[in-house]
Amino acid sequence: MSKRVLITGAAGFLGSHLCDRFIKEGYRVVGMDNLITGAMMNIEHLFPLEQFEFYHHDVSNYVHVAGDLDYILHFASPASPIDYLKMPIQTMKVGSLGTHNLLGLALSKGARMLIASTSEVYGDPLVHPQTEDYWGNVNPIGPRGVYDEAKRFQEALTMAYHTYHGLETRMVRIFNTYGPRMRVNDGRVLPAFFSQAIRGEGLTVFGDGSQTRSFCYVDDLVEGIYRLLHSDCHMPVNIGNPDEINILDFAEEVLALVGNPAAHIINKPLPTDDPKVRKPNISKAKEVLGWEPKFNRAEGMAITYEYFKGVVPVNA
Ligand code: UDP
């Protein structure tokens, strides 16, 4: 019998790509999502498959899955700054109560649990690039605190299950990732810029655009997660692309790629506690997983642009 994996947040951007990968590798996949930010469109193609099942469920409530489970991947959470501003309590609950429910399920099934942590555990970092041994600079009561602290709690709880119960656990710290199936209006920089450029609107650069991010194409991220799950490393591992760019230059890149003469750059205020820099140090992933990103930004952006052209309604 093939292995069976539970993926929470299955209808989301990362969750749906993970479902695809595990199906491709011959696993039986149980997808779970409460659909507050996920979209059925992302997993519709999996429903005809015998190896795929779907539960419409909120993991912040008690989770029951009948039958065996070999792995649990916890990817359910609002994941963009505007989502967790709109849903602060749900964001905290899914990272804390949701994680607790799933750790309990993993223990009862003898499953290995992998949690989706984040570069946000480093907050507005004072160490650059960020290494896994950096403890971070997080404002617990700022608008991003609900996400950052939920994810930090998630790591602490997962480590406690590992040390106290001997549960097999894995933790991936995910840096900015992009690709097809990002929600057009999730407020993150790449969907915002692509939809604004395609519609011929102003690209909303927050602040002066000097803040940096490092963008990883989704297939690279999925490969890193797949390797981490099957590795013997229970400590957190950064997965991201260290190719750093500031947001103003990124806006220029999107303008050049889309080539819409009506599109232009406008400035909006910088959100509270917006990290000034972000770039993963991926030495550990290289050493422990033999992993590094394969897609450069030009390749990943070209694929992603094709996707957004299909989903962004163009203004007449
Ligand atoms: N950003 C921007 N314009 C937008 C959306 C985001 O300039 O319309 C900036 C934001 O201030 C941040 C960076 O782009 O510095 C990345 O933001 P995003 O929300 O994608 O993710 P974050 O890395 O902040 O979680």
Ligand 1 pocket check for 188: Cβ under 6 Å: yes
Tell me if 305 CB under 6 Å of ligand 1. no
Q: Is 274 in the pocket of ligand 1 (CB under 6 A)?
A: yes
Which of 190, 213, 216, 270 maximizes ligand 1 atoms within 8 Å of its Cβ, making it the mutation to test the pocket? 213
Task: Report yes or no on 202 lying in a domain.
Answer: yes
Nearest by Cα to 280 from 178, 209, 176, 189: 176
**What tens digit of pLDDT does each residue of 127-154 get?**
999 999 999 999 999 999 999 999 999 9
Report yes or no on 271 lying in a domain.
Answer: yes
Q: Does residue 65 share a domain with residue 203?
A: no
Tens of pLDDT, residue by residue over 161-218, are 999 999 999 999 999 999 999 999 999 999 999 999 999 999 999 999 999 999 999 9
For 193, 203, 204, the CA distances from 250, given in Å and listed in that order, are 9, 10, 11
pLDDT at residue 292, rounded to an integer: 98
* 162 and 206 share one domain: no
> Given a cut of 80, is residue 272 above it in pLDDT?
yes
pLDDT tens per residue, range 96-118: 999 999 999 999 999 999 999 99
Question: Which residue, among 117, 161, 114, 123, has the nearest Cα to 142 in the 3D structure?
Answer: 123
Dihedral of CA atoms 260, 262, 266, 272 in degrees, nearest 10, equals: -50
Q: Helix 247-258 and helix 297-311: axis angle, to 10°?
A: 60
pTM (2 decimals)? 0.97
Same domain, 227 and 195: no
Distance between CA atoms of residues 81 and 88, nearest Å: 10
Q: Which amino acid is at 283?
A: S
Give the model's pLDDT for residue 256: 98
Residue 218 pLDDT: 98
pLDDT attached to residue 313: 73
Tell me, yes or no, whether 163 lies in a domain.
yes
Cα–Cα distance measured from residue 309 to residue 195, given in angstroms and rounded to the nearest whole number: 8
Residue 42 sits in the same domain as residue 171: yes
SS3 10: coil
- Are residues 143 and 261 located together in one domain of the fold? no
How far away, in angstroms, is 196 Cα from ligand 1 center? 14
Give the atom of ligand 1 at the shortest distance from the alpha carbon of 120: 25
226/301 same-domain check: no
Residue 35 shares a structural domain with residue 152: yes
Whether residue 84 is found in the same domain as residue 201: no
Residues 196 and 166: their CA atoms lie apart, in Å, by 49
Asked if 59 and 204 sit in the same domain, the reply is no
- Residue 303 maps to a domain: yes
Q: Report the CATH number that the domain containing residue 206 is assigned in CATH.
A: 3.90.25.10
CA distances (Å), origin 144, targets 96, 140, 172: 15, 8, 19
Sign of the C-alpha dihedral computed for residues 18, 181, 56 and 145 taken in this order: positive
Same domain, 22 and 166: yes
Q: Which of 27, 71, 84, 147 is catalytic?
A: 147
pLDDT, average across residues 247-268: 98
What is the helix, strand, coil percentage profile of the chain, to 5? 40, 20, 40
| pLDDT, tens digit (0-9, with 9 covering 90-100), for 24-74 | 999 999 999 999 999 999 999 999 999 999 999 999 999 999 999 999 999
The mean pLDDT value for 271-298 works out to 97
Domain span at residue 199?
A: 180-213+243-279+295-311
| Same domain (yes/no): 206, 222 | no
Under the banding of pLDDT at 50, 70 and 90, the label for residue 1 is confident
Give, using CA atoms, the residue closest to atom 16 of ligand 1: 189
Q: Which of 68, 67, 71 is nearest to 18 (CA)?
A: 71
- Tell me, what's the pLDDT at 314? 58
Q: How many other CB atoms are found less than 10 A from the CB of residue 189? A: 22
Can 217 be counted among the known catalytic residues?
no
Nearest to 16 by CA among 239, 171, 181: 181
Q: What is the CATH number of the domain that holds 166?
A: 3.40.50.720
Q: Is the CB of residue 204 below 6 angstroms from any atom belonging to ligand 1?
A: yes
Coil, helix or strand for 274?
coil
- Which pLDDT belongs to residue 316? 37
The preferred substitution site among 122, 177, 189 for testing ligand 1, maximizing ligand atoms within 8 Å of CB, is 189
Let me know whether 37 and 65 are in one domain.
yes
How many whole angstroms from its chain centre is CA 221?
9
**Token pair for residue 18?**
């993970």
Question: Total domain count for the chain?
Answer: 2
Is 108 a domain residue?
yes
Is pLDDT of 315 > 80?
no
